[in-house]
Amino acid sequence: MTFDWSAIPGMMPALLAGLRVTVLATVVVMAIALVVALPIALARMSRHALLRVPATIYVQVLRGTPVLLQLFYLYYVLPFAGIKLSPWTAGIIGMSAAYSAYLSEIYRAGIEAIDRGQTEAALSLGMSRVQVMRIVVLPQAFRIVIPPIGNMFIGLFKDTSLLSILTIRELMFEGQLLAATTFRHITIFTVIAVLYLAVCWPSASIIDRLEKRLKATPHDAGPTGSTGSPRRWPFTFGPSGEATA
């Protein structure tokens, strides 16, 4: 069995359709996970056990079990308990839950990387803890976590191949169908690898450039910045003394 160039045009419509499904699943899952991860991260940092303990259990369970197992459980095990989910629903819930756990730890690391002195200074100026988190901490934390989130996005794009076990017709599933009917395994899976690289390689390059740009910004160089000038806070004070963005 050899690589068959002449077979590529005939298989591309099905593979490109699968690629579109893969991209769609990646965007939807990442959007949900990014939103869900932030309150989980904040709950993990809470001083209240009623928030911290459930969030910790959520993260540890999802990080400590394979995503493949979680998808199997949602789609194949829950029906025995009377809960039947469609392939797309099970896939989106499973992948979003798993990635929200990982992203919550990225958020938490970014938040904890901010100098605590800034929080104490803002509190001494009369700001509430919610204002401190929203105006002072989170804007800086998001700058820190952008590169690792970008890497997670690439990882998620590849991990959507797990959705094939739920019969979702993403790129790998389409490839398996073609291979089962044409027996051109070398050609099909080589083309699939090229399609994955065509998305992941440029994405990785963009993330690398973004990371270098963020590292070159004086704001991330410490309390005084890389040039020795004082760090600019992400808010100013109005005539009444109230902090405003």
Query: Can you state the percent helix, strand and coil of the chain, rounding each to 5?
Result: 80, 0, 20
Structure tokens at 226: 């890389």
Residues 6 or more apart in contact with residue 48 via CB below 8 angstroms: none
What pTM does this model have? 0.81
Tell me the domains of the chain and their CATH numbers.
12-222 (1.10.3720.10)
Which pLDDT does position 132 carry in this prediction? 85
Which pLDDT does position 222 carry in this prediction? 43
Which pLDDT does position 141 carry in this prediction? 86
CB 202 within 8 Å of CB 52: no
Q: At what angle do helices 138-159 and 87-112 cross, to 10 degrees?
A: 140
Rounded to whole angstroms, how far apart are CA atoms 136 and 204? 29
Which pLDDT does position 217 carry in this prediction? 62
Which pLDDT does position 216 carry in this prediction? 65
Per-10-residue mean pLDDT of the chain, 245 residues long, equals 84 95 97 96 92 96 95 95 95 97 94 85 83 85 87 94 94 94 91 95 88 65 42 42 44
